């Protein structure tokens, strides 16, 4: 019998604040960071996981990961793999750590890193990418892998099982389809708030040429500047001359684009405020940007304000602009209430703010029941590597659709991972296929050695030069 023997934790930080990457109205200086954990078990087994932060405070997450990982030391991995829902409950059940959550904040995102590492080990042991491990599960196994506590008033285990069984017959066909086409993606890299107009225009043209037709820009610091930047982006994405050679404009009224405020080429623009407004201010501000025809406003107010999001959604109904949130929704109960209150048009999960795959599964199931598309957040180091797996699980096994879904893609820091995500010529994610990659989050040892805080070679050199 194998046992989990020990773990290693690394505080890895990248100096993205120097280039303005990741900047928005709330977060003006972002050093993309990874609180990174590796679980080791006898027999040479290993699983890697991480949680994303933007710099200072990453060390606190690392300390918390250590407290949670201790609960798994001495456990037989196979006994945990047999029921990952119960394993998730056990990992979250330390009463003293739970007290300083519960199921929110630093404790919860640390739990995400540990749960993701356990899932990575599970997938590696079975010789499958994480998404394939999950979609190959029976409906019963998938339900057992899901965190259900506190959400059975929105979806019961029995309802989830019936939904999964109803989708089971088409799984092989959907898997073949997405392998052929790729998973739809949108690009945020052109729209960071700290970029100059010239850089926004250049990056937008590059994104159109790469095949993307969904684009997101950050807003919220100054309405006039936002309108100007939005018009720059619209002038490019709505102009057929910038489309890749031989690619005709998409039909704005097609099923995949209907209701998305698509322009004449079928291009879609989204805006993201990163929580900066009160509710009345959000409504007024977003209406002032109606001219650039966004599909949705993301994070218009505090991420925990369910009724505030619902009020904003009602007020914007006449504009054709929807509401999206979820990047900072810290657990499945917040998503449950957002869905029950009809507060969102788009559900945006985060792969490690939620406490790992088991909790993500619960949100995917609820969103499918309520008929709300899931478009995961991926604007940070490692998140793109993670979330393609989650979107594939959603499409193949849970919702059965990717027609209206788009998955965020940010072209940052992929070179630090052994199994980086990639985009095909049509602006869609390629399907991870390496049987060794698990959850695709293993980082190069050289990258850890260079960027570990505070004694990695990059940071030692940076401190020497002030």
Q: Could you read off the pLDDT of 401-434 as tens digits, one per residue?
A: 999 999 999 988 999 999 999 999 999 999 999 9
What pLDDT, on the 0 to 100 scale, is given for residue 25?
A: 56
What pLDDT, on the 0 to 100 scale, is given for residue 24?
A: 57
Q: Is the pLDDT of residue 8 over 70?
A: yes
Residue 152, Ramachandran bin (φ over 0: left; ψ between -120 and 50: alpha; else beta) = alpha
Q: Could you read off the pLDDT of 145-197 as tens digits, one per residue?
A: 999 999 999 999 999 999 999 999 999 999 999 999 999 999 988 888 888 99
Q: Could you read off the pLDDT of 223-242 as tens digits, one per residue?
A: 999 999 999 999 999 999 99
Give mean pLDDT, residues 269-289.
97
**Alpha helix ranges (H) inside 77-185:** 77-81, 84-91, 95-99, 105-126, 130-135, 139-144, 157-168, 171-181
Q: Out of 48, 132, 218, 260, pick the active-site residue.
A: 218
Q: Where are the beta strands (DSSP E) in 326-364?
A: 346-347
Transcribe 396-441 into DSSP letters: IIIS---SS--EEE--SSGGGBSS---B-TTSEEPPP--TT-TTS-
- Determine phi and psi for 52, rounding to 5 degrees: -95, 135
Q: Could you read off the pLDDT of 450-465 as tens digits, one per residue?
A: 999 999 999 999 987 5
Question: Percentage of the chain with pLDDT > 90?
Answer: 92
416 is catalytic: no
> Mean pLDDT over all residues of the chain?
95
pLDDT interval class at 23 (50, 70, 90): low
Handedness of CA 161, 164, 169, 172 (dihedral sign): negative
From 64-68, 83-87, 254-258, 282-286, the region with the lowest mean pLDDT: 254-258
Q: Which residues contact 204 (CB under 8 A, 6 or more apart)?
A: 190, 215, 232, 233, 236, 237
- Distance CA(276)–CA(27), nearest Å, equals 10
Q: Out of 330, 377, 412, 416, pick the active-site residue.
A: 377
pLDDT interval class at 74 (50, 70, 90): very high
Joined tokens for residue 148: 């259900």
pLDDT interval class at 98 (50, 70, 90): very high
What pLDDT, on the 0 to 100 scale, is given for residue 464?
A: 74
Q: Is the pLDDT of residue 466 over 60?
A: no
377 is catalytic: yes
């Amino acid at each position: 019998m194998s046992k989990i023997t020990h773990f290693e934790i690394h505080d890895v930080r990248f100096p993205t604040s120097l280039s303005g990457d990741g900047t928005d109205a709330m977060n003006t200086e972002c050093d993309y960071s990874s609180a990174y954990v590796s679980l080791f078990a006898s027999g040479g087994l290993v699983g890697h996981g991480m949680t994303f932060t933007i710099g200072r405070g990453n060390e606190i997450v690392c300390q918390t990961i250590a407290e949670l990982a201790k609960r798994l030391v001495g456990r037989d991995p196979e006994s945990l793999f047999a029921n990952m829902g119960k394993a998730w409950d056990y990992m979250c059940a330390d009463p003293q750590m739970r007290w300083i959550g519960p199921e929110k904040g630093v404790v919860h995102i640390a739990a995400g890193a540990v749960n993701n590492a356990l899932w990575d080990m599970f997938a590696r042991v079975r010789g499958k990418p994480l998404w394939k491990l999950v979609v190959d599960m029976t409906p019963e196994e998938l339900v057992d892998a899901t965190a259900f506590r506190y959400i059975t008033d929105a979806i019961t285990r029995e309802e989830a099982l019936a939904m999964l069984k109803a989708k089971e017959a088409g799984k092989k066909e959907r898997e073949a389809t997405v392998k052929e086409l790729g998973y739809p993606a949108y690009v945020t890299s052109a729209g960071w708030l700290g970029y100059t107009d010239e850089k926004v225009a250049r990056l937008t043209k590059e994104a159109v040429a790469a095949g993307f037709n969904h684009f997101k820009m950050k807003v919220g610091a100054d309405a006039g500047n936002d309108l100007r930047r939005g018009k720059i982006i619209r002038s490019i994405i709505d102009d057929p001359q910038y489309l890749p050679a031989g690619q005709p404009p998409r039909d704005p009224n097609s099923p995949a684009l209907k209701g998305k405020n698509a322009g004449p080429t079928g291009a879609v623009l989204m805006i993201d405020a990163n929580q900066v407004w009160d509710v009345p201010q959000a409504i007024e501000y977003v209406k002032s940007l109606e001219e650039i025809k966004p599909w949705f406003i993301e994070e218009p107010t505090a991420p925990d304000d369910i009724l505030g999001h619902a009020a904003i959604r009602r007020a914007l109904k006449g504009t054709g602009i929807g509401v999206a949130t979820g990047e900072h929704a810290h657990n499945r109960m917040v998503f449950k209430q957002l869905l029950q209150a009809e507060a969102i048009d788009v559900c945006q999960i985060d792969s490690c703010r939620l406490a790992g795959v088991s909790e993500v599964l619960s949100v995917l199931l609820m969103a499918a029941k309520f008929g709300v598309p899931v478009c995961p957040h991926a604007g940070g180091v490692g998140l793109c590597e993670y979330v393609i797996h989650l979107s594939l699980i959603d499409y193949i096994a849970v919702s059965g659709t990717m027609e209206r879904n788009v998955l965020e893609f940010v072209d940052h820091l992929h070179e630090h991972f052994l199994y980086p995500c990639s985009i095909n010529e049509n602006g869609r994610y390629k399907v991870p296929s390496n049987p060794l990659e698990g959850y695709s989050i293993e980082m190069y040892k050289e990258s850890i050695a260079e960027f570990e805080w505070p004694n990695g070679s990059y940071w030692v050199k940076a401190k020497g030069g002030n």
